[in-house]
Every structure is written in structure tokens, then in C-alpha cells.
Amino acid sequence: MEHFDLHKIEKKESLEMGCEKLFNALHPDTFLGFNKKFSKKEFLDWVIANKNIVLHGSNNQYISTFEPRLANCNSKEYGNQKGIYATEDTILPMFYAIKDKDRFDGIADSGRYENDNKEKGYHFSISKDMIDKKPWSSGAIYLFDKSNFISKNNTPTFR
């Protein structure tokens, strides 16, 4: 049992050092490379937990200037407000990063929820016709300084 705990601590320290090194290497217009020591999700989880960062996912990998736009989401209480939307969640921006807007012409339902035990869960739904079109692409997760955003209904929006 003692050996297992030591291994777990070493793995956590290695993850933290690797994530810190990657974070410090961040540079605009540069994509980060990943090795097999930890996943992109582990890195993003670490960034959210340790840095003042929110995330935005897009299948456009070459955005140089972000401009506020309408959310086009009438189904949500905060929908159709002009802004740049970001989140402290790591899963939702990944979904938007891989959704190919050029091939996707239907409704994509996505969301996050918490159960009574405060455990997170997600739901994602698209039509079978869309699945058959394979509407997925490479994408990018953009990191923003959280202090530049205000929160509307727990959704950070650019000031």
C-alpha cells in the first residue's frame, strides 16, 4: 500500500511539472505538442485549477482576433447575447473545437449538469443524419485570462 501511494504522488508531481512547463511555453500562434505522459484534458484540467484561465473551443485553428458575436442559442437563458464565450469546464470546449461548422447543418445539443452528489455529467446529442456526415474536424482550445471575463449564469463572457 505504501509503494502505491508513493507512485501516485510521483505521478502527480510529474504531471504538475510537465503541465507547468507546457503552460510556460505557451505563445500566441503556436500549437502545443503533447507526449504520452499526460493527456490534453489533464493539461486543461491543471490549467483551470492552477491558473486564472477560461477556455474557448473552435474548429477554426487560426483565430488571431476574437470579436464578440451572438451566441445563436435561444434555448438557454443567456442565449443570443453578444460576447465571446468561455468556460472553466474542459469537456464542452473540446466538443465545440471538433464540431466542423462547414459540414454541420443541424442542431447539436450539449450541456453539463451536476447530480445530487455534485458529480458532473454531460449530454451530447446530434441527429443520425449528422453522424453519417462525419461532422468532425481538428480544432483548437483557446486560453483566456479569466479576469477579462464577466460571469453570466455561470458562463464567463468577455467584458
Q: Are residues 30 and 98 in the same domain?
A: no
The 3-class secondary structure across the chain, one letter per residue, is CHHHHHHHHHHHHHHHHHHHHHHHCCCCCCCCCCCCCCCHHHHHHHHHHHCCEEEEEECCCCCCCCCCEECCCCCCCCCCCEECECECCCHHHHHHHHECCCCCCCCCEEEEEECCCCCEEEEEECCHHHHHCCCECCCEEEEEEHHHEEEECCEEEEC
Cα angle for residues 91, 94, 98 (degrees, 5° grid): 145
Q: Are residues 13 and 87 in the same domain?
A: no
Q: Are residues 140 and 63 in the same domain?
A: yes
Of residues 128, 61, 64, the one with CA closest to residue 101? 61
pTM as predicted: 0.77
List pLDDT tens digits, range 123-158.
888 888 888 888 888 889 999 999 988 876 555 555
Domain count, the chain: 2
Q: Quote the CA–CA distance of 73 and 153 in Å, as a whole number.
A: 14
Contact 59, 90 (CB under 8 A): no
Q: Are residues 77 and 123 in the same domain?
A: yes
Q: Are residues 66 and 23 in the same domain?
A: no
Q: Are residues 45 and 102 in the same domain?
A: no
Q: Are residues 122 and 143 in the same domain?
A: yes
Among all chains, which residue has been given the C-alpha cell 505522459?
37
Of residues 38, 34, 35, 40, the one with CA closest to residue 13? 38
Residue range of the domain that includes 1: 1-51
List pLDDT tens digits, range 68-105.
887 666 555 555 677 888 889 999 899 888 888 888 87
Q: Are residues 116 and 142 in the same domain?
A: yes
Is residue 52's pLDDT more than 90? yes
